[in-house]
Amino acid sequence: MKMSTRILTIVMLLVAMCSFDNAALAQDDCLSLRATDLVVGETAEFEIANATPGSVIVMVWGLREGRSVIENDRLSLCANFGIKNVRNKFRLAGLALADDDGHGVIVRRVPDFVGTVVLLQAAEAGTCPDSCVSNIVEREITEDR
């Protein structure tokens, strides 16, 4: 096993151990993500619920499931995403500010990548060391509804 693979494995185990202690408590408080269909040229709406009122919500995208741990000081973001390669390219899909009810909305125009299956996931900024992330939403980009 290469040294870099060993280090990555150790880091992933440590992250899993740290988040395990608070998993039962944090699960009810973590985010919920819903998305409309992704139709080329139209706007898609992404609704996030269960955030802390007034918090910044960050949504990322990717093409494959996997693990990406992101620590970004500018966004006060520390999250363990279930989407591969988010960290390497920091695929930011949008930001939202949670309202008084803990809801946020991100609206984006859908690019012309017909047939591409996209994975989306949101996280609440400023929740380090315990990251609060949403479910993963999978959508295929289509030409029409």
Dihedral sign for Cα atoms in the order 5, 74, 49, 18: positive
Q: What string of DSSP letters covers the chain?
A: --HHHHHHHHHHHHHHHHHHTTHHHHHTTS-EEEE--EETTSEEEEEEESPPTT-EEEEEEESSEEEEEEEETTTTEEEEEEETTHHHHT-EEEEEE--TTS-EEEEEEPPS-TT-EEEEEEEETT-TTS--B---EEEEEES--
- CB contact at 8 A, 117 and 28: no
Total domains, the chain: 1
| Residue range(s) defining the domain that contains residue 54 | 3-142
In tens digits, the chain (145 residues) has pLDDT values of: 544 444 333 333 333 333 333 333 334 448 999 999 999 999 999 999 999 999 999 999 999 998 877 776 666 667 778 888 876 666 889 999 999 999 999 999 999 999 999 999 999 987 766 778 999 999 999 998 7
pLDDT value, residue 104 = 97
User: Residue 42: which CATH number?
Assistant: 2.20.130.20
Model-level pTM?
0.74
pLDDT value, residue 16 = 37
